[in-house]
Amino acid sequence: MSVLLAHMRETYVIGAGPAGLASAIELSKAGEKFTVVEKADIPGGLAKTYSFDEDGLVFRTDNGPHRFFSKNPYLYEFIGELVGERWIEVKRQTRQHIAGKFYDYPIKPVQALANIGPTKAVRMIADYCVAQARYGLMKKPIRNFEDHVVAHFGRTLAEFNMINYTEKIWGVKASTIHSDWATQRIKGLSVGFLIKAAMEGAIGSFRTAPLRTLVDSFYYPEYGTGLIYETIAKKLADGGHPVRCGTYPIKIRHDGKRITGITLKAGDRTEETAPDQIIESIPPKEFLKLLDPVPPEAVMAAAERMRYRDQTYLFITLDKERVTHDQWIYFPEKQIPFGRISEMKNFSQKMSPPGKTSLFIEFFCFEGDAIWNAPKEYLLGLAMGHLERLGFCRQDEVRESYLIRQKKVYPIYDTEYRSYLDPVKEYLDRFENLHYIGRPGRFRYNNQDHSLEMGIMAARSVIEGKRHDLERIGGEEEYFEKGTHGKA
């Protein structure tokens, strides 16, 4: 008697960052057959948490501090189910350091005015009025990020922190950055909103809807944001689907409409697979190079124009109870070589051993430049000069320092980016069994929430056999900017 075995659909999830792991857990909940592969040694992508054991004293740090914020109540449930009580609410305490002074963020009006001084404050107001006249009444076009912030805040306020910090992050002039960057990150933020929010902070109860940039508390897993992704990886392993780390595609075959086969490298071995569905978060520039046959020249040329900003981090552990009460402090000015410092203990006490603390110091760079190539000792010397001067810590309090380099952290939205991103996406969209997701996959400046949502929706596309529009996620103005920070 012949037994007809029904073909069970198989999905390959390539990349185990938040997006890929969210896909995998959703597939597992639906009882789908799937495999997860990840190029790195551990899952979690940019949202992983590192642990450093110093003779039994364990210090933890995220790959840059991660607060969780979303308008989507389902995501709070999704994470709540994974980490439960280990998800704690943290009252936000952050500052900026500009021209030798510290500014609380969100802004405290009395402190801000005292720090800025009357002359500069008057100049800010005058410039704001000029900008309103130029961009509002005279309809001067907004062609780039610089125009956007000058139009909304006036030149003096825009230069005070936004233009400086943006140029530090991206390493290019603010006038060469697309205004979409402002639309994504600070839409809804205006002088009026800042004044309202500041007044609310000062006197209590305006009930201003919180902006993503201004929410005053957030959720954080007590052992670092990576706890979410370690928990997913463990659940997957317990269910018989361990994340196969150190495994990645070296060739992806297709017939112009579907992906037909993948050659994977796993350690010294190669293996062949032909999954029915592929969910991947590989940067498009790399993904296209894996395709066989090679995509048209125009698509490859468009992908070549995609650029990223990279980062080098210095994590220092300290024989000191605490440095500040801040979770993080921004340093927008160029003369300070790092962009932000974070004290992980102020996210959760469990990030440092009792009586000790740590600082995570972020440098923005391009792969191969002087900061990227700098040895740890050089960066430590550079950082300590400023940290000592600011009274944060002394060299003799430093226990240990760790250097971490991270490629392709920020997709660069230059003023031309749509002209090369659109043809790449148009080409990828032809593959009916391909779902490209996440911050790297979609060349999108996603936070965790949008990557999680993309992962979940890609898995649902597979499960339901109908494509959900992943481009929409994070694109809606309201969705993107305003939200709740409470658990659902």
Ligand X SMILES: Cc1cc2nc3c(=O)[nH]c(=O)nc-3n(C[C@H](O)[C@H](O)[C@H](O)COP(=O)(O)OP(=O)(O)OC[C@H]3O[C@@H](n4cnc5c(N)ncnc54)[C@H](O)[C@@H]3O)c2cc1C
Cis peptide before 106 (omega within 30 of 0): yes
| Shortest Å, Cβ 201 to ligand X | 21
Q: Contact 153/191 with Cβ under 8 angstroms?
A: yes
Q: Contact 348/224 with Cβ under 8 angstroms?
A: yes
Give the separation between CA 148 and CA 187, rounded to whole angstroms: 10
Based on CB atoms, which residue is closest to ligand X, 46 or 374? 46
Based on CB atoms, which residue is closest to ligand X, 11 or 63? 63
Q: In the Cβ-directed half-sphere of 366, how many Cα atoms lie within 13 Å?
A: 8
| Shortest Å, Cβ 455 to ligand X | 7
Give the separation between CA 460 and CA 462, rounded to whole angstroms: 5
Percent helix / strand / coil, the chain, rounded to 5: 40, 25, 35
Measured CA to CA in angstroms, residue 53 lies from 60, 66, 180, 351 at distances of: 9, 21, 42, 12
| Shortest Å, Cβ 429 to ligand X | 18
| Shortest Å, Cβ 360 to ligand X | 9
Based on CB atoms, which residue is closest to ligand X, 94 or 317? 94
Based on CB atoms, which residue is closest to ligand X, 147 or 449? 449
Instruction: Identify the three-state secondary structure at position 381.
Output: helix
Measured CA to CA in angstroms, residue 161 lies from 172, 326, 406 at distances of: 15, 19, 25
Q: What is the DSSP letter of 72?
A: -
Footprint of ligand X on this chain (CB under 6 A)? 14-20, 37-40, 45-47, 63-68, 248, 281-282, 286, 362, 409, 438-440, 446-449, 451
Give the separation between CA 292 and CA 251, rounded to whole angstroms: 7
| Shortest Å, Cβ 399 to ligand X | 23
| Shortest Å, Cβ 336 to ligand X | 17
Based on CB atoms, which residue is closest to ligand X, 97 or 212? 212
| Torsion sign (Cα): 372, 45, 380, 325 | positive
Instruction: Identify the three-state secondary structure at position 484.
Output: strand
Helices (H), 108-162: 109-116, 118-131, 145-153, 155-157
| Shortest Å, Cβ 275 to ligand X | 14
CA 382 to chain centre: 25
Tokens encoding 423: 């043809």
| Shortest Å, Cβ 295 to ligand X | 16
| Shortest Å, Cβ 38 to ligand X | 5
Instruction: Identify the three-state secondary structure at position 193.
Output: helix
Give the separation between CA 177 and CA 410, rounded to whole angstroms: 13
Residues 6+ apart with CB under 8 A from 335: none
Tokens encoding 177: 């950055």
Instruction: Identify the three-state secondary structure at position 213.
Output: coil
Based on CB atoms, which residue is closest to ligand X, 38 or 481? 38
| Shortest Å, Cβ 403 to ligand X | 15
Strand partners, 482: 211
Based on CB atoms, which residue is closest to ligand X, 229 or 420? 229
Based on CB atoms, which residue is closest to ligand X, 135 or 410? 410
CA dihedral 343, 347, 351, 355 (to 10 degrees): 70
Based on CB atoms, which residue is closest to ligand X, 36 or 393? 36
Based on CB atoms, which residue is closest to ligand X, 120 or 244? 244
Supply the DSSP string of 95-110, one letter for each residue: EEEETTEEEEESPPHH
| Shortest Å, Cβ 249 to ligand X | 6
| Shortest Å, Cβ 486 to ligand X | 16
Based on CB atoms, which residue is closest to ligand X, 68 or 78? 68
Based on CB atoms, which residue is closest to ligand X, 59 or 338? 338
